Amino acid sequence: MTAPTLETRLFDAVRFAEVGASKSGTKFKYLEGRAVPFDTWTDVGWYLEKMAPSVFRKSIRESARALPLQLWHNDRTWAVGKASKWTESPEGLDAVWELDGSAEAQRAAQMANDGFLTGLSVGFQTLDGGSDWELADPEDPTSRNRVTRTQARLHEVSLVNAPQYAQAAVTLVRSKGKTGLHAKPNLAQWRQWRDSIGKD
């Protein structure tokens, strides 16, 4: 009998967001974004995979506050943050992470804010009975094995460089304010909107 394997999936992640100015010395406190999109196929090697909307529901309910934000799935270093809020919708699993004040966490947040660290990845373990397989048709050379993950334990989410899903995105890095999943438009966005309403 072999030990269960921790699997990781990379997702595209930085859709730039305006934040409190960390470059002025204010520490970043929160990072928000989509941890994983649902019902979207991705190629993970010899098969295609998608995550069902309920895949991490039990895991989130049991250990939501204990789930860390890491860098590159490196469990030999300190986490750079911890989950403080999860929101599940038909489109995906969104989260808010509270960031650590360490130099590593602050650098990661700055890189995410500046658009350089552009990936999110989930580390998970599929539970017994949590995979629905559709095997490829041997008569069709274009057919692929497919699996829908229906129940898995989420261990952590990491900031990474390598994107896989365009639907997942870091939507906000900020130094203060409300912990929602939507940022208020910045001043430039308000001006652009104001200037556009008088034009036909």
Instruction: Please indicate whether residue 61 or residue 174 has the higher confidence score (pLDDT).
Output: 61
- Chain centroid, CA 196 distance in Å: 33
Contact in structure between 147 and 134 (CB atoms under 8 Å):
yes
Instruction: Please indicate whether residue 196 or residue 190 has the higher confidence score (pLDDT).
Output: 196
Tokens 């990936």 appear where? 119
Mean pLDDT in residue range 34-53: 92
User: Domain limits at 187?
Assistant: 7-197
The secondary structure of residue 99, as a DSSP letter, is E
Q: Is residue 62 in a domain?
A: yes
> Which residues neighbour 200 within 8 Å (Cβ) at sequence distance 6 or greater?
none
Q: State residue 128 phi and psi, 5-degree precision.
A: -55, 130
- By mean pLDDT, which of 158-162, 171-175, 176-180 is the weakest? 176-180
Q: What is the pLDDT of residue 176?
A: 59
Q: Is residue 92 in a domain?
A: yes
Digit-coded pLDDT (tens) for 96-129: 999 999 999 999 999 888 888 878 889 999 999 9
Q: What is the pLDDT of residue 48?
A: 93
For the chain, give the percent of residues with pLDDT over 90.
46
Q: Is residue 180 in a domain?
A: yes
Res 170 pLDDT > 60: yes
Sequence-ordered alpha helix ranges (H) in 20-102: 57-63
> pLDDT-derived band of residue 163, with 50, 70 and 90 as boundaries?
low
The secondary structure of residue 123, as a DSSP letter, is E
Res 150 pLDDT > 70: yes
Q: Is residue 193 in a domain?
A: yes
Q: Is residue 173 in a domain?
A: yes
Q: What is the pLDDT of residue 183?
A: 40
Res 195 pLDDT > 90: no
> pLDDT-derived band of residue 187, with 50, 70 and 90 as boundaries?
very low
Q: What is the pLDDT of residue 199?
A: 53
> pLDDT-derived band of residue 51, with 50, 70 and 90 as boundaries?
very high
In total, how many domains does the chain have?
Answer: 1
Q: Is residue 1 in a domain?
A: no
Q: What is the pLDDT of residue 140?
A: 95
Q: Is residue 171 in a domain?
A: yes
Q: Is residue 87 in a domain?
A: yes
Cα(183)–Cα(164) distance, integer angstroms: 24
Mean pLDDT in residue range 58-79: 86
CA distances from 43 to 64, 134, 165 (A): 28, 14, 10
Q: What is the pLDDT of residue 119?
A: 82
What is the torsion angle, in degrees rounded to the nearest 10, for the CA atoms of residue 123, residue 127, residue 132 and residue 134? 70
* Rg from Cα positions in the chain: 19
